Amino acid sequence: MLALDIRNLNKRYPKFQLKDVSFQLEKGYIMGFIGANGAGKTTAIKSILNMIHIDSGEVRILGKNMAEHEIELKQEIGWVFGGIDFYTRSKIKTLTEVIKKFYKQWDDETYFNYLRRFKLDENKKIAELSTGMKVKYSLAIALSYGAKLLILDEPTSGLDPVARDDLLEIFQDLVADGEISILFSTHITSDLEKCADFITFIDNGHIIQSSEKEQFIESYRLLNGEESQLNQVKDRLISYKVNSFGFTGLILASDFDPTSGLKVTTPSLEEIMIYFAKKEELYV
């Protein structure tokens, strides 16, 4: 069963548009959702949650159309946006008492189990929580009403490496039994290299690729050579950089000629993003 099924999503603004965005997330997996600022990640997430009116396309969550079953499905979705900016002077327990009334499947026992697991003191005020603790509190809330799809927008932004690693372990534990699925939008691509099963890459409003993580990375190559060799491959490169040592360029693995004599490596997710951003500068 698909946890998330996005088909031909379109949304036009005066200076930006989502163009036929399609991707699928299978139940029980973590999908990294990557792209530069302004690429369309937030617009896509708001479209998934029906927070903005789309021009065309379909969003299906757990097999049901979001537009037709929004109230029902939002009992199954948890979203974490990296912070809590409301009622910051309230204690955790006060805020929870308000939130829990909106969810039919709320379970106090599950909630208190997660408070203990995440070492959260319900008598602390929201303003007293660290960024990492705010994310854990949001997760505790979502998991206490049985959310089956978690949508995380920059949940590890601003965290130190230890706190980030702790959260990544939590995310992996959550999907282990195959019941919970996670869409994880972030700029910290090293986090996705540790925990994601699939990668969806959006650039300038359209999906470049959505596939299993290793397949995604292996579909690109990073070339290094002398500047005099650049013309051999320039027309096949996605983009390139030239410096005093020569050039470095990103190319599709299918376009690479292994007899070219150029040095070749497998890029990281971050390098793939950087070179696609460089493409805009080169060909604008």
Cα–Cα dist 168/173, whole Å:
9
Q: Report the chain's mean pLDDT, rounded to a whole number.
A: 92
Cα–Cα dist 265/244, whole Å:
20
Model's pTM, two decimal places? 0.91
Asked whether 69 and 215 are in contact (CB, 8 A), the reply is: no
Which of 149, 175, 210 finishes a domain?
A: 210
CATH of the domain at 102: 3.40.50.300
Output the pLDDT for position 281: 56
Q: What is the pLDDT of residues 221-244, one digit of tens each?
A: 999 999 999 999 999 999 999 988
Beta bridge partners of 31: 183, 198
Output the pLDDT for position 284: 44
Q: What is the pLDDT of residues 96-126, one digit of tens each?
A: 999 999 999 999 999 999 999 899 999 999 9
Which of 162, 189, 210 finishes a domain?
A: 210
Output the pLDDT for position 280: 60
Asked whether 253 and 219 are in contact (CB, 8 A), the reply is: yes
Angle at 94 between CA 88 and CA 95, to 5 degrees: 55
Examine the pLDDT at 198 and tell me if it is beyond 50.
Answer: yes
Same domain, 155 and 185: yes
Same domain, 177 and 223: no
Q: Who wins on pLDDT, 282 or 250? A: 250
Read off the pLDDT band of 259 (50, 70, 90).
Answer: confident
Q: How many domains does the chain have?
A: 2
Cα–Cα dist 190/140, whole Å:
25
Q: Is 154 left (phi over 0), alpha (psi -120 to 50) or beta?
A: left
Domain that residue 250 falls in: 219-283
Same domain, 118 and 255: no
Burial-class residue 105 by CB neighbours within 10 Å (0-12, 13-18, 19+): exposed
Contacts of 204 (CB under 8 A, 6+ apart): 39, 40, 280
Percent of the chain clearing pLDDT 90 (strictly above): 77
Same domain, 73 and 96: yes
Angle at 10 between CA 4 and CA 12, to 5 degrees: 140
Output the pLDDT for position 131: 83
Read off the pLDDT band of 187 (50, 70, 90).
Answer: confident
Read off the pLDDT band of 279 (50, 70, 90).
Answer: confident
Which of 210, 239, 254 finishes a domain?
A: 210
